């Protein structure tokens, strides 16, 4: 009985350590990938909910377990996503997807795009509002977990892709530009089953300067 109690106690210690790491993860991720200061990171973190963070899990699994000793050990993340399968692909895809996700967010952003990406959106959908409606619909109706993407082909023509699980339009030869995370843990604590509300609020954080850079790169 004492051994069982000791094991249960140790399990709780581990759980508490994981919770502590995750509670601090979002600020670190935002600072690393967006380059904003601590105050701005904490502001954005509050909007995204610290419980709704899973990036570090995928990153650690990919770097520490999955690719060591394989053909992908020294490959770029893009090549891993393009060419791998199974567990390696799942974790690599989620690392890349979350890179794109966090990089496109910033406090006091939102609004409408300008520049080449605005021209391309208007050429495809006729208006920014029509584009928002279609992307929101794609995200809201994607069955199960996954991502809704704005992507472009080699000619710069835009499209919206619904990708299940760790899916990324890079696998289809497309350029990923903007993504909406519709894994349930990304929004459920704040929105429950109101996925469209999650998507609508996400548009208030989109940094269109980043989206423009991705599109024109």
Query: Domains, the chain, ranges and CATH?
Result: 1-51 (no CATH), 54-103 (1.10.287.990), 115-216 (3.55.40.20)
C-alpha to C-alpha distance for 79 and 71, rounded to whole angstroms? 11
How far, rounded to the nearest angstrom, does the alpha carbon of residue 5 sit from its chain's CA centroid? 39
pLDDT at residue 130 above 60?
Answer: yes
C-alpha to C-alpha distance for 143 and 54, rounded to whole angstroms? 20
Q: Select the more confidently predicted residue: 127 or 199.
A: 127
CB atoms within 10 A of CB 7: 10
**pTM value surpassing 0.85:** no
pLDDT reported for residue 176 = 97
C-alpha to C-alpha distance for 28 and 42, rounded to whole angstroms? 10
48-66, pLDDT tens digit by residue? Answer: 554 444 444 455 555 555 6
Closest CA to 159 of 131, 140, 136: 131
Closest CA to 92 of 104, 75, 107: 75
Q: Select the more confidently predicted residue: 87 or 9.
A: 87
C-alpha to C-alpha distance for 140 and 182, rounded to whole angstroms? 8
Our CA angle for 172, 176, 178, nearest 5°, is 140
Give one DSSP letter per residue of 72-87, joined into a string. TTTS-HHHHHHH--HH
CB-based burial, 164-199: b 16+ in 10 Å, e otherwise: eebbbbbbeebbbbbbbbbbeebbbeebeeebeebb
Closest CA to 114 of 196, 215, 21: 215
pLDDT at residue 169 above 70?
Answer: yes
Residue 173 pLDDT level (bands cut at 50, 70, 90): very high
97-125, pLDDT tens digit by residue? Answer: 988 988 888 888 899 999 999 999 999 99
Residue 177: DSSP 8-state: E
The counts of H helices and E strands in the chain are 10, 3
Distances (CA, A) of 43 to 26, 36, 92: 11, 11, 28
Share of the chain above pLDDT 90, in %: 41
CB atoms within 10 A of CB 73: 11
Residue 183 pLDDT level (bands cut at 50, 70, 90): confident
Beta strands in the chain (DSSP E): 146-152, 158-164, 175-181
C-alpha to C-alpha distance for 58 and 94, rounded to whole angstroms? 6
């Amino acid at each position: 009985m004492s051994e069982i109690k000791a094991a249960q106690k140790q399990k709780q210690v581990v759980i508490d350590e994981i919770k502590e790491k995750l509670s601090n993860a979002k600020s670190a991720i935002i600072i690393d990938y967006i380059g904003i200061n601590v105050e701005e990171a904490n502001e954005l973190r509050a909007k995204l909910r610290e419980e709704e963070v899973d990036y570090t899990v995928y990153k650690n699994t990919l770097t520490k377990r999955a690719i060591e000793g394989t053909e992908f050990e020294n490959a770029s993340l893009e090549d891993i996503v393009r060419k791998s399968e199974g567990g390696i692909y799942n974790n690599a895809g989620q690392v890349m997807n979350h890179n794109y996700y966090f990089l496109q967010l910033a406090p006091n952003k939102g609004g409408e795009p300008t520049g080449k990406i605005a021209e391309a959106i208007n050429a495809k959908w006729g208006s920014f509002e029509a584009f928002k409606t279609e992307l929101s619909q794609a995200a809201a109706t994607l069955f199960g977990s996954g991502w809704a993407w704005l992507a472009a082909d080699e000619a710069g023509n835009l499209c919206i892709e619904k990708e299940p699980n760790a899916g990324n339009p890079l696998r289809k030869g497309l350029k990923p530009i903007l993504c909406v995370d519709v894994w349930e843990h990304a929004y459920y604590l704040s929105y429950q089953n109101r996925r469209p509300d999650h998507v609508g609020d996400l548009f208030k954080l989109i940094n269109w300067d980043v989206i423009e850079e991705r599109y024109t790169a």
